[in-house]
């Protein structure tokens, strides 16, 4: 078997591999192991970026093991990556170190309202823009609840059973009596898609349905909403990444 001398390509490959491994350890939680392949297969369930590159990274893990563990001598290697492979893993490393910003996949601008807003104003937006979720705030700009088109339909159906609906004076706070509780979480403008995916998974583990994640400047509930991410937004990214 011909010995292959150590080259810059091997160094570059291992450096890029270690960068990805570090990112996986930072982003994938609760695995109980820092092994590259275990992080890869555990993280792919929740993270679209990992799913996108899973097959390639699994192959690169095998190549990395060959480079590191199957040395013929101190200065000789059995396996050596091609230039195209080195460039590819370096490209993937950059994606992991700078994942997709959450704001880039969010619905923006966010149409939000105050409790005293008339319901008819919300209906106009639904009719014109086909929006279905609206964060609601009190006079002190604190988040109160999430108003959905389904909630509005349910409320209107209940009104039909008793009397003619007079929408002219109905305000958003009048719909609260339905008692529905929608879970919403907040992340800062700097959050990545990894962080948003983790929020959805955290609620799922608690058997709670997270309706969406609101992006604000610092991730606080009393700040102006800059973007809204639903589970459908994440699924669209996942489908794009798997193609």
For 62-91, write each residue's pLDDT tens digit.
Answer: 999 888 765 555 555 566 789 999 999 999
Is the domain of 108 the same as that of 203?
yes
What pLDDT score was predicted for residue 238?
Answer: 60
Is the domain of 24 the same as that of 139?
no
Residue 233 pLDDT grade (very low, low, confident, very high; cuts 50, 70, 90): confident
What pLDDT score was predicted for residue 229?
Answer: 95
Domain boundary residue, one of 97, 122, 142: 97
Is the domain of 77 the same as that of 187?
no
Is the domain of 120 the same as that of 211?
yes
Is the domain of 87 the same as that of 112?
no
Residue 117 has pLDDT above 90, yes or no: yes
Is the domain of 178 the same as that of 229?
yes
Domain count of the chain?
A: 2
Is the domain of 160 the same as that of 44?
no
Q: What is the DSSP string of the chain?
A: ---EE--HHHHHHHHHHHHHHHHHHHH--S-S---HHHHHHHHTTT-HHHHHHHHHHHHHHHHHHHHHH-EEETTEES----HHHHHHHHHHHHHHHSPPBGGGGSB-S---EETTSBHHHHHHHHHHH---EEEEE-TT--EEEEEEHHHHHHHHHHHHTTS---GGG-BGGGGGGG----EEEEEETT-BHHHHHHHHHHHHHTT--EEEEEEESBS-TTS---EEE-HHHHHHHHHHHH-
Mean pLDDT, the chain, rounded, equals: 85
- CATH number, domain of 151, equals 3.10.580.10
Is the domain of 193 the same as that of 86?
no
Averaged pLDDT, 133-160: 88
Is the domain of 181 the same as that of 226?
yes
Residue % of the chain over a pLDDT of 70: 86
The pair of structure tokens assigned to 44 is 């792919």
Range of the domain at 160: 104-242
For 148-195, write each residue's pLDDT tens digit.
Answer: 888 888 888 877 766 666 777 889 988 875 556 789 999 999 998 888
Is the domain of 81 the same as that of 146?
no
Domain boundary residue, one of 97, 127, 143: 97
Lowest-pLDDT choice from 4-8, 9-13, 191-195: 4-8
Domain boundary residue, one of 43, 72, 97: 97
Is the domain of 142 the same as that of 26?
no
Is the domain of 111 the same as that of 207?
yes
What pLDDT score was predicted for residue 184?
Answer: 95
Residue 3 pLDDT grade (very low, low, confident, very high; cuts 50, 70, 90): very low
* 188 in Cβ contact with 219 (< 8 Å): yes
What pLDDT score was predicted for residue 74?
Answer: 55
Residue % of the chain over a pLDDT of 90: 50
């Amino acid at each position: 078997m011909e010995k292959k001398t150590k080259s810059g390509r091997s160094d570059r490959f291992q450096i890029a591999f270690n960068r990805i491994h570090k990112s996986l350890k930072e982003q994938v939680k609760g695995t109980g192991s820092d092994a590259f392949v275990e992080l890869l297969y555990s993280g792919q369930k929740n993270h679209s970026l990992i799913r996108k590159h899973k097959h390639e990274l699994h192959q690169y893990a095998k190549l990395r093991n060959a480079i590191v563990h199957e040395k013929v001598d101190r200065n000789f290697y059995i396996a050596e990556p091609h230039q195209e492979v080195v460039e590819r893993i370096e490209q993937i490393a950059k994606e992991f170190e700078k994942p997709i910003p959450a704001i880039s996949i969010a619905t923006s601008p966010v149409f939000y309202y105050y409790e005293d807003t008339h319901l008819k104003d919300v209906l106009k937006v639904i009719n014109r823009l086909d929006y279905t979720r609206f964060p609601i705030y009190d006079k002190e700009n604190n988040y109160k609840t999430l108003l959905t088109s389904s909630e509005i339909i349910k409320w209107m159906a209940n009104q039909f059973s008793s009397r003619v609906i007079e929408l002219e004076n109905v305000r958003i706070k009048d719909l609260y009596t339905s008692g529905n509780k929608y879970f919403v979480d907040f992340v800062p403008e700097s959050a990545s898609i990894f962080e948003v995916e983790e929020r959805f998974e955290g609620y799922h583990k608690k058997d709670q349905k997270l309706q969406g994640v609101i992006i604000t400047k610092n991730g606080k509930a009393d700040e102006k909403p800059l973007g809204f991410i639903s589970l459908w937004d994440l699924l669209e990214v996942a489908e794009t990444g798997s193609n």
